[in-house]
Amino acid sequence: MSGINDFVIRFANVNGTGSASANFLFAKTLFRMGIPVSPKNIFPSNIQGLPTWYEVRVCDKGYLGRREGIDLMVCVNPQSLEKDVASVKDGGYFLYDSTKPLHTEFLRSDIHYLPVPLMSLCNENFTDARQKQLFKNMVYVGALAVLLNLDFEVIAQLVGEQFKGKEKLIQPNILALNLGADYVRKHFDFPLSFHAEKRNLTHGKIMIDGNTAAALGALYGGATVVPWYPITPSTSLVDAFTEYAEQYRVDPETGRKNFAVIQAEDELAAMGMVIGAMWNGARAFTATSGPGLSLMNEFLGLAYFAEIPAVLIDVQRAGPSTGMPTRTQQSDVLLAAYASHGDTKNVLLFPSTPDECFELTATAFDLAEDLQTPVIVMSDLDLGMNDHISEPLHWQNGRTYNRGKVLSAEELEQTKGWGRYLDVDHDGVPYRTIPGTHPQKGSYFTRGSSHDEYSRYTEDADTYVRIMDRLLLKFHKAATLVPEPEFYGDDVSAEFGIIYFGTTHHAAMEALDMLSAVDLTAYAMRLKAFPFSQKVRQFTERFDKIYVIEQNRDAQMRTLLINELEIHPERLIKVLNYDGTPITADLIVHKISSDIHSSTLIRS
């Protein structure tokens, strides 16, 4: 299976030893060589000392999902040796630091060993203790460059870019690369049977993480108030927003800021500030992960019932509770959809790629203000924190914001009998006013308690039901405004359907091809939003059997589909991955084909 531009390499490092930038250099080199590549961080919730892995899949066919089966393991962490040796597939390679000999218990007869004395090479050539450790990483990149036929010019160019402004560091880095390269040339046959070859498959693409892309989406989408509370894996999103805002949102004359980033005392306060700011007419958002979403439920309910726009980006991680903070999952679907006590429903958007993180985050502000309700962008750790090959981020100059039904002073002047929750247009969305707009008109008392059309407190049964039903009407309208699903595969001869969303995308695309190779033809729908549109309903009505692929234990999206569209549960079959690692095409194909075979057996 492995061959030219088709292999998986895994790096086993110790957290906090500077391996991340060397590993990124390796992946970026392949990208610059025009080869599709997908790197994944598999890291601990730790700053220094624990094992961390970086996995890079190289794939000419452009499959960017994770793949099982490690062709080459680069092991610079004695702590995880045993596991790392065991994880190499038959016939694979194991590159390790041979400064100290490898214990015989780690020798397997079915794999090849590539001993490179990383530490002693560094000890001989560098004096500074920190440099000795850091350059160990560059030595193995140099070794890999020869073993895998990487373009040295590209590597040197990237090193130059990385150390722009710190030119002194370029030469020692190149030296370290050469130490590894020379060692390989002297001691091993090269390149390996599987290796890289230049292509032109990444031209015009970018390699970016979803959190940075979402942050830019918020910047372009007009976010000005950004309260937040640090939590993995969402932290880098607000960091990126701050970095770009400091660059592009500061008045050049006064040095004063057109944005306010506030580190809140907790996620409750972060959401409260978002709601306060959007109530007052500014665009605001916060980013969080599962535990933060749990805390924000109270405020999301208020925003839903009092009809205040709010934007939240949930970079999902493995739950429940603290769960696995550095592992990925799609396990907040139900909590987000029905956040808060009482009858509530929230608008959700599901990006699959960084360019969608950008676009859907910008769109979330329009939707939130148009619908006067919270909109939650459902990213995840895999999308948010890993670099992905993506289409460039796109913004059309002249694009305007949809601020929704907000009355100006002039409009208020002409309006008679305005009521904050009057459904004037019969579409479920009332007109709102921003504080300070008009001296006599448009003031009202926002409340999370039951209210009538004029925002007055009421416990009147009919009024309460009227308001709650209008909120449903508004949610039906939302289903017509949210992004439509995307469809893939053969819609004519398909025997069954597949539904998935978010970061399952790449694995699902690969699985579709693998299934059709064994004559299992499927038509797939990638959900991009909740509530579900007519197109989603039509798709679910088309097939007797639909596999719902998701990355959680309880098949939450399947539950949401069954609940909202009243589909018979038998027709929706679970395909689940919830071990915290990104889903693979192999898993999808295995589960779908074994289900098809077992049901064929039962029938015959």
Classify residue 222 as exposed, middle or buried by CB count within 10 Å of its CB (0-12, 13-18, 19+).
middle
| Cβ 387 to another protein shortest distance, Å | 9
Given CA atoms 515, 516, 518, 519 in this order, what sign does their dihedral have?
Answer: positive
Classify residue 152 as exposed, middle or buried by CB count within 10 Å of its CB (0-12, 13-18, 19+).
middle
Q: Which position among 115, 281, 323, 580 is part of the footprint of another protein (CB under 8 A)?
A: 281
Sort strands 572-576 and 546-550 into parallel, antiparallel or unpaired: parallel
Using rule CB under 8 A, residue 270 touches another protein: yes
Residues 288-317 that bind another protein (CB under 8 A): 298-299, 302
Using rule CB under 8 A, residue 331 touches another protein: no
| Cβ 291 to another protein shortest distance, Å | 16
Token representation of residue 258: 């057109």
Taking the least distance from each CB to another protein, the nearer of 272 and 325 is: 272
Identify the CA nearest to 284 among candidates 273, 292, 295.
273
Q: Which position among 11, 279, 304, 421 is part of the footprint of another protein (CB under 8 A)?
A: 279
Using rule CB under 8 A, residue 227 touches another protein: yes
Using rule CB under 8 A, residue 269 touches another protein: yes
Q: Which position among 68, 86, 120, 401 is part of the footprint of another protein (CB under 8 A)?
A: 401
Using rule CB under 8 A, residue 598 touches another protein: no
Using rule CB under 8 A, residue 264 touches another protein: yes
List of residues 6+ apart from 304 with CB closer than 8 A: 339, 340, 344, 345, 346, 373, 374, 471
Q: Which position among 100, 103, 130, 447 is part of the footprint of another protein (CB under 8 A)?
A: 447
Number of residues forming the site for another protein (CB under 8 A): 71
Using rule CB under 8 A, residue 402 touches another protein: no
Residues 172-211 that bind another protein (CB under 8 A): 205-208
Options 64-72, 281-289, 422-430, 579-587: segment touching another protein (CB under 8 A): 281-289
* Rounded Cα gap, residues 155 and 138, in angstroms: 11
Options 177-185, 215-223, 510-518, 537-545: segment touching another protein (CB under 8 A): 215-223
Per the CB < 8 A criterion, the answer to whether 36 and 202 are in contact is yes
Taking the least distance from each CB to another protein, the nearer of 278 and 536 is: 278
Using rule CB under 8 A, residue 342 touches another protein: no
> What single-letter DSSP state applies at residue 504?
G
**What's the full length of the chain, in residues?**
604
Identify the CA nearest to 374 among candidates 245, 474, 458.
474
Residues 450-489 that bind another protein (CB under 8 A): 457
Using rule CB under 8 A, residue 214 touches another protein: no
| Cβ 23 to another protein shortest distance, Å | 17
List of residues 6+ apart from 60 with CB closer than 8 A: 4, 5, 6, 35, 36, 199, 201
Given CA atoms 267, 273, 276, 278 in this order, what sign does their dihedral have?
Answer: negative
Residue 438 backbone phi and psi in degrees, to 5: -135, 135
| Cβ 411 to another protein shortest distance, Å | 15
Token representation of residue 83: 């596991």
Residues 72-101 that bind another protein (CB under 8 A): none
Options 110-118, 126-134, 228-236, 252-260: segment touching another protein (CB under 8 A): 252-260
Token representation of residue 126: 């560098």
